[in-house]
Structure 1
């Protein structure tokens, strides 16, 4: 059994990931700011620990990661247009997680990013979207520059549709949608797969079963 710390443990993808990890014999540790979420997450199979991404420092992250064998960064600043939270959560939370992982000696790190964030944005985009793209791009750069055993998954437009178990996974993919449940399944699949270390992929729905798509992508 591996303890897997999930930063942003009450997020939509995290709540789908927790039971998948639990069923696979792992112990998910959901790191959340709000203690009111504890019962819900425990019912899904998680152990819950409190971590305020914005107020906590690198040492707090390291303590939260103590005993973990892997970390999943699944946090996001929300869709409310708050520019500052893109910086403090999507970027700042990732940077503190990367640093905390190093201090805690946890090498395996999987980050949920977003499709197309390396591409320039137009002058007409909203400030919040620009901040989101900048934050995700810079967080990915920081993780790639670390010495951790990282994997970066960049999903397309997220939906709450039922999972299909069939995806397209590639360094570059055509813009499309993907159910959050399929993203969670991919995260669970790559966590234990050393072939995926040092890999960054875009992820959308497709025709290939998840295991086969990962095998094709690592060749």
Structure 2
């Protein structure tokens, strides 16, 4: 049984991942900012620990990761138009998670990013979207340059539709949608497959079963 820390443990993808990991015999450790999330997440099978992504530092992250064998960074600054939180959550939260994993002696690190963030942005790009893309881009670059055993998953447009169990997964794919449940299934499959280490994949809905998609990507 493996304990897996999930940074941003109350997010929609994270909650799908908690359910998926619990069902496969792992112990998800949900790191959240608010005590009020505890009962809900424990009912889904998570161990809950408190971590304020913005207010706390790498040493606090390392302490929160204690006993875990892997870290999943699934946090996001939200869709409220707050530019500053794109930096403090999406970028700095990832950087502190990377540093915390290194301090805690954890090598395995899986990060949820977004499609297309390495592509140049048009001059008329809206400020919040630019901040989001740049934060994800820089977080991914930092993870690739770390000494960790990393995997980066870059989903397309996320939906709350039920899981399909089938996806399209490759270094580059055509834009499309993917369910959050299928993203979680891919994250879990990557955690169980060392061949995904050092890989950065884009992800949308498709016709290939998740396990086969990860094995062949």
TM-score class, shorter-chain normalisation, is over 0.9
Deviation at 1:212, TM superposition (A): 1.1
Name the SS of the counterpart of 2:173 in structure 1: coil
Instruction: Write the deviation string for residues 74-120 of structure 1: whole angstroms up to 9, x where unpaired.
Output: 00000011000000000000000000000000000000000000001
Deviation at 1:173, TM superposition (A): 0.4
Map of 2:153 onto structure 1: 153
Counterpart CA distance in 2 for 1:61 and 1:214 is 29
Alignment of 1:166-181 (within 5 A): 166-181=166-181
Q: Mark the runs of 5 or more structure 1 residues left unpaired by the alignment.
A: none
Aligned residues: 217
Deviation at 1:19, TM superposition (A): 1.2
Matched, 1:20 2:20: yes
Instruction: Write the deviation string for residues 163-213 of structure 1: whole angstroms up to 9, x where unpaired.
Output: 111110010000000000000000011102110000000000011111111
Alignment of 1:182-193 (within 5 A): 182-193=182-193
Deviation at 1:125, TM superposition (A): 1.7
Map of 2:4 onto structure 1: 4
Alignment of 1:51-66 (within 5 A): 51-66=51-66
Map of 2:80 onto structure 1: 80
Following superposition, which runs of at least 4 residues in structure 1 exceed 2 angstroms of deviation?
none
TM-score (norm 1): 0.98
Counterpart CA distance in 1 for 2:192 and 2:214 is 12
Map of 1:92 onto structure 2: 92
TM-score (norm 2): 0.99
Let me know the Cα RMSD of the aligned residues.
0.5
Matched, 1:38 2:38: yes
Counterpart CA distance in 1 for 2:107 and 2:21 is 18
